[in-house]
Amino acid sequence: MRVYNFSPGPSALPLPVLERAAAEMTDTNGTGQSVMEMSHRSRDFKPIIEKTEALFRELMGIPAHYKVLFLQGGASLQFSMIPLNLAAGMPKKQASYIDTGIWAKKAADEGAKYADVVVRASSKDRDYTYIPAAPAPNPLDAYYHITLNNTIVGTKWAALPDTGSVPLVADVSSCILSEPLDVSRFGILYAGAQKNLGPAGTTVVIIREDLIGKAPSWTPMLLRYDTHAGEGSMYNTPPCYGIYIIGLVLEWLKGLGGVSAIATLNQEKADLFYAYLESSKGFRSPVEKPFRSLMNIPFVRVEADPDRRADLESRFVKEAATQGLVNLAGHRLVGGMRASIYNAMPREGVEALIKFMEQFERKC
């Protein structure tokens, strides 16, 4: 039986994608091979990576002067590659970061090894339950880094900061392709695949061409954007199977009507769930309204006694799992519960969760 999987990542993939991958497992496109067995430089694999990139460009409206790179190392490796490529040197260049949660902080901490990092605003004072006002960048900044959707705390930037001529760099790991995004506003967008795109192991980087080729000569070969951009993500063996699955996910998304169609569905799912939380006496959202994420919705049990609250929350997560509603525990650092409702989560999954929560409220 398929469950409704609310995992923050790796996350649920669309069933038609999994079924197609299963059907093509031993013979893809009449080649008599699995994608896992193909040489990445073969005539069999070339159309697969080309199709995935073309669909990305089409669905996201990526301008021609941006490269799309398929890398490894997760979004976390971008925390290092961005400062290494854009700001490292003697002296280090300055870069602005906005601290909106655990991933944003990790990006800034790692960035500080290679860039002169200035954290220009933070929402830590209220447990990251809002997005702070974004100060203007210093014109000398090499870049300005934000985390567009904060997976753990469930916030998103409602409007993009105006960074003028300073390249805006955004971690879009948990919101890529969830709603329309004007790529031309950014210098770099990056995302680990394991939420809205495909399996873990592939990282997608969308980078404006003028930002490529700035790394100091001592930068390790595989950590340079120009290494990968110059070879069409084929300097070394790319994550072939992940790229293939991402292509299937993008085809599925195109079939649904593309990003604007999925954005409408995502908004409906999130509206439904937030409306329930607003009306509930048993559960509430800790996040301030203007900044609520469409993708990750943390919630807590309304309970004065902290021990009873912890007991009920743990019971909630366990009982939900017995009903096929899995992976609802909040992040280990923040507790509570969290429903991640990425593109592949159908509306029925959100409805089933609300129904279960109503029953739980009546019982406890």
Residue numbers annotated as active site: 103, 171, 195
Smaller CB separation from ligand PLP, 129 or 147: 147
CA 169 – CA 155 distance, rounded (Å): 18
**Taking a C-beta distance cutoff of 8 angstroms, is the pair 325, 4 a contact?**
yes
How far, in Å, are 298, 311, 357, 360 from residue 364 at the CA level?
A: 20, 11, 10, 6
Does 76 bind ligand PLP (CB under 6 A)? Our answer is: yes
CB of 308 to ligand PLP, least distance (A): 30
Does 171 bind ligand PLP (CB under 6 A)? Our answer is: yes
Smaller CB separation from ligand PLP, 44 or 171: 171
On the 0-12 / 13-18 / 19+ scale of CB atoms within 10 A, 321 is: middle
Single residue of 13, 69, 75, 337 touching ligand PLP by CB under 6 A:
75
Does 201 bind ligand PLP (CB under 6 A)? Our answer is: no
Residue type, 12: A
Does 343 bind ligand PLP (CB under 6 A)? Our answer is: no
**Taking a C-beta distance cutoff of 8 angstroms, is the pair 59, 258 a contact?**
yes
Q: In this structure, how many other beta carbons lie within 10 angstroms of the beta carbon of residue 84?
A: 24
Q: Which of 297, 43, 33, 80 is nearest to 205 (CA)?
A: 80
Smaller CB separation from ligand PLP, 74 or 247: 74
Does residue 360 sit in helix, strand or coil? Answer: helix
Does 99 bind ligand PLP (CB under 6 A)? Our answer is: no
Single residue of 6, 9, 97, 117 touching ligand PLP by CB under 6 A:
9
Single residue of 163, 174, 219, 227 touching ligand PLP by CB under 6 A:
174
CA 310 – CA 224 distance, rounded (Å): 46
Does 178 bind ligand PLP (CB under 6 A)? Our answer is: no
Cα dihedral angle (170, 150, 158, 98), rounded to 10 degrees? -60
Residue type, 326: V
CB of 41 to ligand PLP, least distance (A): 26
CB of 28 to ligand PLP, least distance (A): 26
CB of 217 to ligand PLP, least distance (A): 27
What tokens were used for 276? 């329930």
CB of 174 to ligand PLP, least distance (A): 5
Per the DSSP assignment, residues forming a β-bridge with 298 are 338
Report the site for ligand PLP in 133-152 (rule: CB under 6 A). Answer: 147, 151
Does 248 bind ligand PLP (CB under 6 A)? Our answer is: no
What are the residues binding ligand PLP (CB under 6 A)? Answer: 9, 74-76, 103, 147, 151, 171, 173-174, 192
